[in-house]
């Protein structure tokens, strides 16, 4: 048994910690916030609202082989309840609404009926994302056999390795609106399809179509807290309010309740970005990869249950009301946060269990956010801009949910600056490196090339998102097991 210290209790750190503690190591997880989870948390607000921070839909819960393995090993399926929605998502553009069903065949048939002139492209698109999705699953668990046969086994992945979503969709389709329809939900990963890796789009979309998107009933803190309990149940320690300030290859220093502590360790697992981690070690490091853009969320508590007021609607909605083409989309993204198209996740549509009172409900809006839009504002201007954003967004929601503003009991905006404060990620990102083709195409690796006792987990290893962050924990545990630990 060795001592392992984990810096940061996001999903990556918690998963690695749970797997390593279960494997018999003495794990100490240090989290600077008052609760574990990072983005995977919920916070409470007056009126009985449990506000979800970073989960609309998780992919791969019952279909991704690595997620299934982790969840089975850790007993997650027995401890946490996952709920899903009936449809994948609804997108509303300038011309009409589209409600995409789950299932590759169902979605292809649905879109072929609306875009009969694009039948050939749709057939190719859905076959392609499915094939790439499966190839990437295999690649995540690749063995020497797979690497030896790489060009044959991963032909599609290789062929599209340098392609962006725009490259591929524009080569497959004539209809400008179809491109918006197929990529609507993936704007969380990247502000524009022009720089988004087609491989990432294909992997995420095929996983959602084939395996659905899932929410943790009661909020994502339930998953995070459960993973923390696996660590403590196996003799480990989970310390919140523990701010790591320095590290050496054999020790970690943190502040807890205003007192500094230094603990010896055989191995360090960091849930922080490489640049923040190496700074703790005082080790020279220059980040060459671009960091993902941020997200801004408006948390909305309603005095009524939206499903009862507006009836059965989609859980995941994307409003691009004034848009029809990719050019219009590009201009909209750059037009400022008050004008940007946005997503609306209506938790009343599923058994989310986010309100004490079942007659109330909770929802969020979410869109791309750039730190520069908020960075130079003084506190009053910042507060005012957030208030303007809430007012403007409710005005825009009125078009789809008449009278919704009158139902609001609680509203609060969390900008990328808010996320930077709570998560301490570079530029407040929740999605690691910008998922451009060159950043996405790499074999995920946890072990540091610079410091032998150091491993990475979280949004920096594969990509951002619940399932990639969780899978990074498994990669870390596997690499530690295969390398052994220094005696």
Which residue, 272 or 320, has its beta carbon nearer to ligand FAD? 272
For residue 374, the number of C-alpha atoms closer than 13 Å in the C-beta half-sphere is: 28
State how far the Cα of 201 lies from the Cα of 187, in Å rounded to an integer. Answer: 10
Nearest to 36 by CA among 56, 64, 7: 7
Q: How far is CA 280 from CA 207, 252, 284, 304, in A?
A: 36, 9, 10, 48
Task: Tell me the residue nearest to ligand FAD as measured from the CB.
Answer: 10
Which residue, 181 or 252, has its beta carbon nearer to ligand FAD? 252
Which residue, 424 or 445, has its beta carbon nearer to ligand FAD? 424
Which residues touch 437 (CB under 8 Å, ≥6 apart)? 161, 162, 163, 164, 197, 198, 199
Q: Which residues pair with 42 in a beta bridge?
A: 52
Which residue, 39 or 390, has its beta carbon nearer to ligand FAD? 39
Which residue, 329 or 460, has its beta carbon nearer to ligand FAD? 460
Instruction: Assign 349 to helix, strand or coil.
Output: helix
Which residue, 17 or 193, has its beta carbon nearer to ligand FAD? 17
Q: Which residue has the tokens 């339930």?
A: 222
Instruction: Output the CA torsion 185→190→191→196 (10° steps).
Output: -100
Least distance in Å: CB of 407 to ligand FAD?
A: 22
Least distance in Å: CB of 468 to ligand FAD?
A: 7
**Contacts to ligand FAD by CB under 6 A:** 7-12, 30-33, 38-40, 54-58, 188, 243-244, 271-272, 295, 297, 366, 419, 423-425, 430-431, 458-459, 464-466, 469
Least distance in Å: CB of 363 to ligand FAD?
A: 13
Question: Helices (DSSP H) in 255-378: which residue ranges?
Answer: 274-281, 306-310, 326-333, 372-375
Least distance in Å: CB of 224 to ligand FAD?
A: 9
Least distance in Å: CB of 21 to ligand FAD?
A: 17
Which residue, 121 or 444, has its beta carbon nearer to ligand FAD? 444
Least distance in Å: CB of 33 to ligand FAD?
A: 4
The phi, psi pair for 344, rounded to 5°, reads: -135, 110
Determine how β-strand 3-7 pairs with β-strand 267-270: parallel
DSSP assignment string, 71-125: HHHHTHHHH--EEE-SEEEEEE-SS-EEEEESSHHHHHHHHHHH-GGGHHHHHHH
Least distance in Å: CB of 158 to ligand FAD?
A: 26
Least distance in Å: CB of 94 to ligand FAD?
A: 26
State how far the Cα of 443 lies from the Cα of 461, in Å rounded to an integer. Answer: 9
For residue 339, the number of C-alpha atoms closer than 13 Å in the C-beta half-sphere is: 12
Which residue, 126 or 214, has its beta carbon nearer to ligand FAD? 214
């Amino acid at each position: 048994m060795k001592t392992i210290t984990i810096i940061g209790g996001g999903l990556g750190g918690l998963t690695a910690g749970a797997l390593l503690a279960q494997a018999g190591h003495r794990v100490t997880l240090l989290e600077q916030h008052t609760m574990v989870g990072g983005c995977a948390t919920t916070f409470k607000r007056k009126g009985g609202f449990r506000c979800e921070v970073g989960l609309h839909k998780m992919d791969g819960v019952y279909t991704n082989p690595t997620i299934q393995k982790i969840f089975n090993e850790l007993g997650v399926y027995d401890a946490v309840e996952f709920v899903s929605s009936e449809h994948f998502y609804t997108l509303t553009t300038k011309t009409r609404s589209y409600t995409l069903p789950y299932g590759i065949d169902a979605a292809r048939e649905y879109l072929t009926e609306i875009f009969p002139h694009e039948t050939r492209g749709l057939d190719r698109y859905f076959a392609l994302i499915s094939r790439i999705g499966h190839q990437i699953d295999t690649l995540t668990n690749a063995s020497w056999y797979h690497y030896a046969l790489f060009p044959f086994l991963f032909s599609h992945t290789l062929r599209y390795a340098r392609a962006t979503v725009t490259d591929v969709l524009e080569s497959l389709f004539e209809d400008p609106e179809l491109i918006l329809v197929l990529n609507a939900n993936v704007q969380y990963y990247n502000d524009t399809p022009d720089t988004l890796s087609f491989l990432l789009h294909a992997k995420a979309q095929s996983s959602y179509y084939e395996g659905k998107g899932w929410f943790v009933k009661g909020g994502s803190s339930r998953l995070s807290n459960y993973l923390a309990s696996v660590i403590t149940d196996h003799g480990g320690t989970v310390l919140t309010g523990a701010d790591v300030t320095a590290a050496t290859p054999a020790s970690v220093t943190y502040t807890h309740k205003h007192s500094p502590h230094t603990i010896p360790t055989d191995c360090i697992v960091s849930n922080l970005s490489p640049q923040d981690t190496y700074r703790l070690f005082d080790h020279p490091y220059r980040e060459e990869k671009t960091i993902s853009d941020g997200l801004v969320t408006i948390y909305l508590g309603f005095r009524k249950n939206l499903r009862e007021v507006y009836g059965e609607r989609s859980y995941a909605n994307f409003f691009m009301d004034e848009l029809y083409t990719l050019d219009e989309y590009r201009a909209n993204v750059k037009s400022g946060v008050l004008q940007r198209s946005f997503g609306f996740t209506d938790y009343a549509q599923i058994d989310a269990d986010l309100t004490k009172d079942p007659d109330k409900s909770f929802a969020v809006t979410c869109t791309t956010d750039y730190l520069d839009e908020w960075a130079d504002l003084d506190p009053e201007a910042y507060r005012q801009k957030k208030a303007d954003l809430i007012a403007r967004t409710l005005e825009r929601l009125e078009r789809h949910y008449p009278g919704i503003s009158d139902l609001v009991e609680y509203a609060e905006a969390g900008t990328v600056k808010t996320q930077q404060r709570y998560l301490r990620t570079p530029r407040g990102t929740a999605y690691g490196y910008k998922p451009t083709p060159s950043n996405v195409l790499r074999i995920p690796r946890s072990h540091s090339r610079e410091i032998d006792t150091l491993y990475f987990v979280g949004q920096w290893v594969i990509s951002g998102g619940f399932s990639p962050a969780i899978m990074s924990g498994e990669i870390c545990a596997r690499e530690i097991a295969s390398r052994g630990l220094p005696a």
